[in-house]
């Protein structure tokens, strides 16, 4: 038989290198794109992935691959997604590959352990120790150590029983596969409106291939139940299809996991950045091998290598947590749509307050529109009232105004629950010295330190820096002179406890509910009615269903409006709809009271009148006139350097290198609000382009022209959300 010609392989390494490198494939070895290999790189051997193969004509002297590693091949749609994302985000493809290969240990098969189970065979001498082990083994197969622990004996007794034939040994995988979902599991009986929506989504699934849909339904309209129908339809049609469900908060995964279990008889594979190594390894391997069918996770799960991806759901698609602002900057919602296109998958974007970007896409006919205008089971949306703080100011040093306190008292009297919503962690957002006026600043960033009273620390919410609250003012030395100014959730909780001494008050923020477990416990206490007043940040405002919660008091409805970034109005509106939407979800009518100094603001007026369209119209006009997204495109370039002179000279050179292009304007360099972070001086450019301009291509062209000194870091942010 003729030998096939020798192969040449381009290998992409999970590192910030500009492109894949070519290698000769050793004789007798065949590789295919997506295979995991080891290759010499400089003086060492590095793991990489074959990106392309060709015939080796021997015309170039190439280094030779050192080996092929096992593990699930990265399929073409996944590789295409990596290439596309790299170009879109203006990053080397190896950086995206590194993000995809988040669990190196997962390339190896699961480690195994030996477990023992009773055989039923009778044995001659049954000592009490042996008896105890056999009893313990009745509870299910387990390792020798585990059986010995259950029986309270030494593990040699287990081994003895195995030798005597009373226990049989077998090897099992330590990382077990996830149970497959049952697409025939029974769901809730859909309302007529839900059924209509489900019909459209089922049809979309049946058509196959890429199509995006916007599932636009008010809070409590039962959107989850509707997209479950689409998931079930897909799994009935294609048993090995994979579904990815993106969720905005890890806090929500707990609740959603439970709903998946109820519906599909199996929990989804979970993925988020806080997973312990072992679970990360298990989830990655099962997902990459195609065995895990339903994956639910935070924004980073958009990078999981699902080989058979057929559907992506982005729940609360408008949520700003889908945008990662640090390190690799990306918007998981936008990547989800791109990924759906490349994989031929359906994409369902669900929200009660869709982003302007998504609405415009839907209206232009690029996305199918599915609407759920009413809550299920006759539940009505809460009545929204604006409480003018100019007319009813709170007492000095307090934050709850009298009409809100009265409403809370009535609610508690009826045995119902209250949520005070304030999107500010900690006790006070600013700490100053009563004696000299000095404000406590973070030593690492241009930011005020936030007082956290539960921990007694001052914390920087930008860098995470924290220190114990000093006894003496570091500036003038006065004793006990540092006071917290302004409200955070902890301070509002103190006030609530003072006003309602008999009420059980708890704080719900990422500080008090730091782990999934803590969130679950808190949500459970709330559901069981063990909490009367919950004081929470945005983590409390999303997705939870608390049947006895009938009053939401928004402590500062103006908070989000001050920021001045382009999405401030939209975000305030979305957040307040979500927060207000917590009230009265079941059969009890709810009320939402928004404390404000600007009741005339259009976002607040729209909320009060339940007139989303009016708000969107005003917002849309503003964006259209100013050519802001989605009517124009934005990109940012951020530089940082260890000293101000260096960053300024680099910025000057970079500004001079900006390509001239039609429909593109470059603003900057400007000193951003966060001028210094962790000892690095920062400067920003903002690029504003017409909608038809490929802003990524522009940024690639620009970055290709610059060569800043190595101490200067340059990063690109496509469609930035943060302007700090
Ligand atoms: P959304 O995501 O639109 O806010 P959910 O899907 O969370 O709404 O549903 C809100 C509540 O209504 C949940 O408690 C859910 O179990 C319940 N629900 C949804 N659909 C139905 C239905 N058809 N029958 C009964 N209860 C439903």
Per-residue pLDDT tens over the stretch 659-687: 999 999 999 898 887 788 888 999 999 99
181 Cα to the center of ligand 1, angstroms? 20
pLDDT above 80: residue 58 = no
Q: Which of 362-366, 384-388, 424-428 has the lowest mean pLDDT?
A: 424-428
**154 and 202, same domain (yes or no):** no
**129 and 228, same domain (yes or no):** no
Q: What is the CATH number of the domain that holds 95?
A: 3.40.1440.60
220 Cα to the center of ligand 1, angstroms? 6
Ligand 1 atom closest to the Cα of residue 379 is 12
The answer to whether 657 touches 706, Cβ cutoff 8 Å, is yes
**148 and 240, same domain (yes or no):** no
Domain membership of residue 465 (yes or no) is no
Boundary residue ending a domain (620, 645, 679): 620
The predicted pLDDT at position 1 comes to 57
Boundary residue ending a domain (101, 134, 165): 101
pTM: 0.84
Of all protein residues, whose CA lies closest to atom 25 belonging to ligand 1? Answer: 188
The predicted pLDDT at position 311 comes to 98
Domain membership of residue 526 (yes or no) is yes
101 Cα to the center of ligand 1, angstroms? 36
DSSP 68-109: E--S----HHHHHHHHHHHHHHT--HHHHHHHH---GGGGSP
pLDDT tens-place string over residues 153-197 = 888 888 888 888 888 888 888 878 889 999 998 889 999 999 999
Residue in the block written with tokens 């509910």:
513
The predicted pLDDT at position 571 comes to 79
**542 and 606, same domain (yes or no):** yes
Range of the domain at 61: 7-101
The predicted pLDDT at position 161 comes to 87
Token digits of residue 474: 């570091």
Ligand 1 atom closest to the Cα of residue 223 is 3
Domain membership of residue 625 (yes or no) is no
**387 and 495, same domain (yes or no):** yes
580 Cα to the center of ligand 1, angstroms? 16
130 Cα to the center of ligand 1, angstroms? 52
- The DSSP 8-state label assigned to residue 448 in this structure reads B
Mutate which of 215, 225, 249, 543 for ligand 1? The one with the most ligand atoms within 8 Å of its CB, which is: 225
Looking at the structure of the chain, the number of domains it has is: 5
The answer to whether 30 touches 7, Cβ cutoff 8 Å, is yes
pLDDT band for 251, please (50, 70, 90 cuts). Answer: low
Q: What is the CATH number of the domain that holds 709?
A: 3.30.70.600
pLDDT above 80: residue 391 = yes
315 Cα to the center of ligand 1, angstroms? 14
Q: What is the CATH number of the domain that holds 523?
A: 3.40.50.300
What's the average model confidence in pLDDT over 432-458?
A: 84
Domain membership of residue 525 (yes or no) is yes
Residue in the block written with tokens 């989850």:
224
Of all protein residues, whose CA lies closest to atom 14 belonging to ligand 1? Answer: 545
The answer to whether 576 touches 561, Cβ cutoff 8 Å, is no
The predicted pLDDT at position 423 comes to 84
**402 and 529, same domain (yes or no):** yes
CB neighbour list of residue 690: distance below 8 Å, 6 or more residues apart: 627, 632, 633, 663, 664
Distance CA(23)–CA(42), nearest Å, equals 13
pLDDT tens-place string over residues 531-564 = 999 998 888 877 677 888 889 899 988 876 665 5
Largest CA distance in the chain: 93
**364 and 301, same domain (yes or no):** yes
The answer to whether 412 touches 406, Cβ cutoff 8 Å, is no
pLDDT tens-place string over residues 582-614 = 777 556 778 889 999 989 988 888 888 888 888
Residue in the block written with tokens 């679950």:
520
Domain membership of residue 724 (yes or no) is no
**505 and 365, same domain (yes or no):** no
Mutate which of 186, 222, 254 for ligand 1? The one with the most ligand atoms within 8 Å of its CB, which is: 222
The answer to whether 453 touches 427, Cβ cutoff 8 Å, is yes
pLDDT above 60: residue 389 = yes
Domain membership of residue 182 (yes or no) is no
Boundary residue ending a domain (123, 138, 173): 173
Of all protein residues, whose CA lies closest to atom 23 belonging to ligand 1? Answer: 190
Buried b (16+ CB within 10 A) or exposed e, 559-577: bbbebeebbebbbbbbbbb
Q: Which carries the bigger pLDDT value, residue 426 or residue 214?
A: 214
254 Cα to the center of ligand 1, angstroms? 16
**How many CB atoms lie under 10 A from the CB of residue 54?**
11
pLDDT band for 70, please (50, 70, 90 cuts). Answer: confident
**337 and 232, same domain (yes or no):** yes
381 Cα to the center of ligand 1, angstroms? 13
**364 and 279, same domain (yes or no):** yes
Buried b (16+ CB within 10 A) or exposed e, 65-78: beebeebbbbbebb
Enumerate the β-bridge partners of residue 459: 450, 466
Token digits of residue 160: 């003895």
Mutate which of 220, 574, 586 for ligand 1? The one with the most ligand atoms within 8 Å of its CB, which is: 220
The answer to whether 428 touches 491, Cβ cutoff 8 Å, is yes
**418 and 516, same domain (yes or no):** yes
pLDDT above 80: residue 103 = no
pLDDT above 70: residue 137 = yes
Residue in the block written with tokens 């096939």:
4
Rounded to 5 degrees, φ, ψ at 350 are: -110, 140
Rounded to the nearest integer, the mean pLDDT of the chain is 89
Domain membership of residue 433 (yes or no) is no
**How many CB atoms lie under 10 A from the CB of residue 517?**
10
What's the average model confidence in pLDDT over 372-376?
A: 88
Q: Which carries the bigger pLDDT value, residue 683 or residue 59?
A: 683
The predicted pLDDT at position 585 comes to 58
Mutate which of 353, 376, 590 for ligand 1? The one with the most ligand atoms within 8 Å of its CB, which is: 376
What residues does ligand 1 touch, defined as CB less than 6 Å away?
188-191, 194, 217, 219-225, 376-377, 545
**225 and 92, same domain (yes or no):** no
Domain membership of residue 66 (yes or no) is yes
Q: Which carries the bigger pLDDT value, residue 518 or residue 706?
A: 706
pLDDT above 80: residue 105 = no
The answer to whether 169 touches 196, Cβ cutoff 8 Å, is no
pLDDT above 60: residue 424 = yes
pLDDT tens-place string over residues 4-46 = 778 999 999 999 998 999 999 998 899 999 999 999 999 999 9
Mutate which of 197, 214, 224, 318 for ligand 1? The one with the most ligand atoms within 8 Å of its CB, which is: 224
418 Cα to the center of ligand 1, angstroms? 21
């Amino acid at each position: 038989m003729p030998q096939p010609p020798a192969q040449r392989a381009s290998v992409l390494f999970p590192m910030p290198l500009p492109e894949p490198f070519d290698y000769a494939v050793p004789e007798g070895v065949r590789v295919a794109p997506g295979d995991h290999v080891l290759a010499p790189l400089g003086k060492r051997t590095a793991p990489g992935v074959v990106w392309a193969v060709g015939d080796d004509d021997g015309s170039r002297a190439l280094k030779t691959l050192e080996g092929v590693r096992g593990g699930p091949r990265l399929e073409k749609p996944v590789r295409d997604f990596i290439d596309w994302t790299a170009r879109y985000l203006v990053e080397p493809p190896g950086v995206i590959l590194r993000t995809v290969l988040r669990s190196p240990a997962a390339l190896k098969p699961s480690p195994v352990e030996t477990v023992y189970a009773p055989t039923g065979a009778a044995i001659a001498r049954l000592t009490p120790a042996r008896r105890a082990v056999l009893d313990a083994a009745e509870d299910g197969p387990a390792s020798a150590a585990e059986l010995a622990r259950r029986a309270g004996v030494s593990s040699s007794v287990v081994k003895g029983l195995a030798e005597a034939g009373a226990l049989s040994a077998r090897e099992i995988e330590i990382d077990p596969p996830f149970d497959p979902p049952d697409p025939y599991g029974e769901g809730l009986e859909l309302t007529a409106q839900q059924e209509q929506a489900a019909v459209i989504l089922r049809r979309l699934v049946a058509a196959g291939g890429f199509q995006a849909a916007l599932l636009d339904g008010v809070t409590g309209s039962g959107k989850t139940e509707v997209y479950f129908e689409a998931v079930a339809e897909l799994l009935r049609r294609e048993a090995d299809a994979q579904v990815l469900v993106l969720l905005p908060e890890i806090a929500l995964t707990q609740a959603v996991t439970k709903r998946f279990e109820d519906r599909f008889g199996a929990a989804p594979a979970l993925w988020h950045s806080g997973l312990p190594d072992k679970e990360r390894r298990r989830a990655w391997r099962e997902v990459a091998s195609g065995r895990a069918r339903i994956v639910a996770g935070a924004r980073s799960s958009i990078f999981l290598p699902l080989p058979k991806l057929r559907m992506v759901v982005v729940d609360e698609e408008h949520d700003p947590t889908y945008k990662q602002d640090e390190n690799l900057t990306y918007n998981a919602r936008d990547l989800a749509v791109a990924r759906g296109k490349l994989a031929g998958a359906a994409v369902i974007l669900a929200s009660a307050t869709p982003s302007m970007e998504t609405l415009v896409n839907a209206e232009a006919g690029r996305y199918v529109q599915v609407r759920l205008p009413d809550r299920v089971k006759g539940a009505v949306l809460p009545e929204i009232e604006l409480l003018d703080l100019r007319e009813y100011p709170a007492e000095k040093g307090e934050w709850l105004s009298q009409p809100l306190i009265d409403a809370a008292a009535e609610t508690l009297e009826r045995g119902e629950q209250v949520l005070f919503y304030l999107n500010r962690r900690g006790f006070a957002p600013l700490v100053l010295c009563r004696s000299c006026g000095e404000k406590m600043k973070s030593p690492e960033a241009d930011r005020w330190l936030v007082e956290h009273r539960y921990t007694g620390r001052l914390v920087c919410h930008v860098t995470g820096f924290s220190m114990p609250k000093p006894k003496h003012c570091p500036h003038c030395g006065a004793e006990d002179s540092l006071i917290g100014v302004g409200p955070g959730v902890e301070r509002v909780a103190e006030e609530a406890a003072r006003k309602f001494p008999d009420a059980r008050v708890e704080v719900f923020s990422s500080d008090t509910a730091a782990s999934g477990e803590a969130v679950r416990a808190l949500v459970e206490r709330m559901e069981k009615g063990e909490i009367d007043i919950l004081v929470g940040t945005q983590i409390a405002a999303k997705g939870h269903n608390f049947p006895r919660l009938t009053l939401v008091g928004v402590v500062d409805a103006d908070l989000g409006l001050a920021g001045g970034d382009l999405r401030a109005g939209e975000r305030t509106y979305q957040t307040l709809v979500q927060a207000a939407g917590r009230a009265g979800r079941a059969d009890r009518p709810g009320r939402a009271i928004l404390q404000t100094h600007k009741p005339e603001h259009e976002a607040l007026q729209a909320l009060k009148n339940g007139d989303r369209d009016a708000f969107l119209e005003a917002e849309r006009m503003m964006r259209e006139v100013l050519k802001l997204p989605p009517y124009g495109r934005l990109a940012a370039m951020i530089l940082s350097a260890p000293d101000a002179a260096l960053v300024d000279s680099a910025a000057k050179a970079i500004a001079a290198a900006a390509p001239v292009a039609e429909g593109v304007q470059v603003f900057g360099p400007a000193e951003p609000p966060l001028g210094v972070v962790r000892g690095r001086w920062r400067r920003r450019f903002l690029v504003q382009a017409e909608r038809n301009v490929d802003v990524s291509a522009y940024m690639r062209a620009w970055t290709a022209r610059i060569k800043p000194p190595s101490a200067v870091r340059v990063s690109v942010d496509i469609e930035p959300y943060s302007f700090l």
